Amino acid sequence: MSTLVDWLTDYENHKRLNNPRPVSGSKPIDLQREIAVHVNALNGTEWDEGHVKSKIQYARKKYQDAKTLANSTGEGDTDKTTLRKRMLELCPDYDRFHAVYSGTLTDDPPPPVQSSRYAKGHAFDSDTNSDSTDSEVEASGSSNTENLTGNTSKRSCATGVSRSRKAKKTRLQHEVNSSSLRKAIDDLRERSVSVPIQGGTFGEDNISIGRREEAVRRREDNVSSREAVAKREEAITMRENNFMEFMQYERELLKDRIASFEREREKVHESFEREKAVLERNKEMAVASLNRDKDRFDEQLKAFNKEKEA
């Protein structure tokens, strides 16, 4: 079951299993067969897709029960010792499932959102715009102060001018910094994944770092297990090929033995026919000799009878 939990709590596998538009080879039945092969290869079990489907439903039900228990206590506070103990009794791997099913997995954290007004450095390339924004805010503040003492028309006019300036400023700033903003977000995303800062990436605590490291270890284990399965399948294929070659050799050898036996049988048959012909000739010669001897004996008998009568 632990191998199945490792597979289910992997973010890439979770996306494949819950893809709303799966393609051929990535449908639920295909993934269930893949999970069955993976679990059987690592644990020596004999699961099929039916076992995997029931196990997945059981794991999801346990997670939902634990989540329902957490929500039924008020705000779902999982830091309370008694509540957390009861949750872990229902679902021992609640944290790992929650990281996937709640959408808060830290394997691919979202980039931090930073206001363009407080951007620093080259992230937005808008030092001049920031200065002008501050000056406009100050001007707007002083204008509002003066308008408090003025009449209503001046106050509305100043407000309209300030709003138009702000809208124009926002529009221009958006047009100028749209490409820089996208580039900065991509850069921050890459750095948040590949360049950890002290204590982890942006906004991460020790628990998130531990989950990230655990996810990396699980991914490495999955890769190694897949390599082991591939090597095992390759060895099985090689043994099957060797067996087929051996059977082909035995089949050819048997054909040669049968052909040799047929040749020997033909030779024996020919020899038997020759011996039979010789025996037939000997028989004929013996019969002829006996007939001659009989005729001679008959002649002698006739001569003896004549002598007797005389």
pLDDT tens digits along 259-294: 999 999 999 999 999 999 999 999 999 999 999 989
Q: Examine the domain organization and report whether 122 and 76 are in the same domain.
A: no
CA-CA distance, 83 to 88, in Å (whole number)? Answer: 9
Asked if residue 212 is part of any domain, the answer here is no
Asked if residue 72 is part of any domain, the answer here is yes
CB distance 250 to 45 below 8 Å? no
* The pLDDT value given to residue 258: 93
- State the Rg of the chain over Cα: 49
Q: Examine the domain organization and report whether 24 and 68 are in the same domain.
A: yes
Asked if residue 98 is part of any domain, the answer here is yes
Q: Examine the domain organization and report whether 98 and 148 are in the same domain.
A: no
Examine the pLDDT at 126 and tell me if it is beyond 50. Answer: no
Q: Examine the domain organization and report whether 124 and 82 are in the same domain.
A: no
At 198, give phi and psi (nearest 5°): -55, 125
Q: Examine the domain organization and report whether 93 and 7 are in the same domain.
A: yes
pLDDT tens digits along 237-264: 898 889 898 999 999 999 999 999 999 9
Examine the pLDDT at 79 and tell me if it is beyond 60. Answer: no
* pTM listed for this prediction: 0.34
Domain boundary at 45, 73, 105, which?
A: 105
Higher pLDDT, 8 or 79: 8
pLDDT band per the 50, 70, 90 thresholds, residue 155: very low
pLDDT, average across residues 180-202: 56
* C-alpha distances in Å from residue 8, one per residue of 41, 205, 242, 286: 17, 24, 37, 99
Asked if residue 262 is part of any domain, the answer here is no
For 204, residues 6+ apart whose C-beta sits below 8 A from its C-beta are: 106, 109, 212
CB distance 124 to 116 below 8 Å? yes
For 65, residues 6+ apart whose C-beta sits below 8 A from its C-beta are: 90, 91
pLDDT tens digits along 32-41: 888 988 888 8
At 105, give phi and psi (nearest 5°): -65, 135
pLDDT, average across residues 116-130: 38
Q: Examine the domain organization and report whether 68 and 17 are in the same domain.
A: yes
Percent of the chain with pLDDT over 90: 14
Q: Examine the domain organization and report whether 22 and 72 are in the same domain.
A: yes
Residue type, 93: D
pLDDT band per the 50, 70, 90 thresholds, residue 76: very low
Q: Examine the domain organization and report whether 120 and 152 are in the same domain.
A: yes
Asked if residue 227 is part of any domain, the answer here is no
pLDDT, average across residues 210-225: 81
* The pLDDT value given to residue 285: 92
pLDDT, average across residues 161-167: 60
Asked if residue 57 is part of any domain, the answer here is yes
CB distance 20 to 203 below 8 Å? no
Task: Round the average pLDDT of the chain to a whole number and report it.
Answer: 73
Number of domains forming the structure of the chain: 2
DSSP bridge pairs for 269: none
Q: Examine the domain organization and report whether 61 and 123 are in the same domain.
A: no
Domain hosting residue 74, numbered range: 2-105
CA-CA distance, 226 to 242, in Å (whole number)? Answer: 24
Examine the pLDDT at 193 and tell me if it is beyond 80. Answer: no
Examine the pLDDT at 164 and tell me if it is beyond 70. Answer: no
